[in-house]
Structure 1
Amino acid sequence: MTGKSISTTTPDGVIEAISASHILHPHLHFTSLNEVLAADISAQEKRAILASWASDLYAVESVPELRQPPGVPSPVHYADILAALKALDGGGGMAGPVGKGLRRSCPWMTSHIRAR
């Protein structure tokens, strides 16, 4: 033992950097559509995050109906992102988690997926 005490406090700069990251890049802090919809942020912020995920920038190469936003472990269907946006506008009627059964209710989507 050297007699030195270990500080368990976090430097203010670290807290500020983490907060700045959440403000500047909020889409990087969610791993699913349900997390975005359940987050304690405004509807406008949720809409902005979901709209960024829907962007062609995150389209999966050779599978354009999928999006792979940074930080999200598995690709998200474009139709599911649109359904989440619709739910924010009050027109979704989504009782369960986003994506469950959605593609079954969109025949054009299931036939397109089967064709691959």
Structure 2
Amino acid sequence: MSAAIDAPRIHLQRVYDVHSPFAHPTFLVDRLWPRGVRKVRLEGAQWLKAVAPSTALRQAFHAAPDAWDTFVTQYCTELAQQRHWQVITSALTCSGEVTLLYASKELQCNHAQVLRDFLLAQCSA
């Protein structure tokens, strides 16, 4: 039972629904700055462009949104080949909770969901 209490928590929020100050370490995980959002609004959040899907992968997914499983596999491969996400796992280790901000209108099938699952797998490994 204590393992569930100590389990890291990764919150996902649309960037358009939040304002600083943030309760937990917060990371914007989009490659492009969200349209219409002023930088002062996200003061205190760290922008980690490098953890977002590559431009080519993002464009391929937007062209074929039904290829979700392919996107997930390819994005996890990209994440495994780099280490930029370790900033997030370090913050997660220190505080136990982090928030990932994303701009997608899609709430269920977006890269932040994949990134969260990838990070949780890294923490439990």
Q: Could you say which TM-score interval applies, normalised by the shorter chain?
A: under 0.3
Largest Rg, 1 or 2:
1
User: Where is the strand percentage greater, Structure 1 or Structure 2?
Assistant: 2
TM-score by length of 2: 0.25
| Higher relative contact order (Cα pairs below 8 Å, separated by 6+ residues) | 2
